[in-house]
Amino acid sequence: MLVAIVLVAEILVVAWFATFSLMLLSMYLDSRQMPVPKLDIAGRTLIGSAKLAFVTGIVALGALTVFEMPVFG
């Protein structure tokens, strides 16, 4: 019985992911005809902060990966 429940759950996850992907594709296709908005100072600050946070996270992940190696420990 548990195997059947897990199998149904996995099928539902695949269906949800496919539906979500189709929604994202639909939003992308709809947005191609829209003009690109000019960002104000708040928008530029938000995008810049998001880029900085992403780069900081990747650098921290790389540093933690290197420091976890047995050679440095």
- Name the percent of the chain in helix, strand, coil, to the closest 5: 80, 0, 20
Give the three-class secondary structure for 34: coil
CA 57 – CA 63 distance, rounded (Å): 10
CA 72 – CA 66 distance, rounded (Å): 8
The verdict on pTM exceeding 0.75 is no
**Confidence grade of residue 70 (pLDDT, cut at 50, 70, 90):** confident
Four-CA torsion 60, 66, 69, 73, nearest 10 degrees? -80
**Confidence grade of residue 36 (pLDDT, cut at 50, 70, 90):** confident
Domain ranges of the chain: 1-34, 37-73
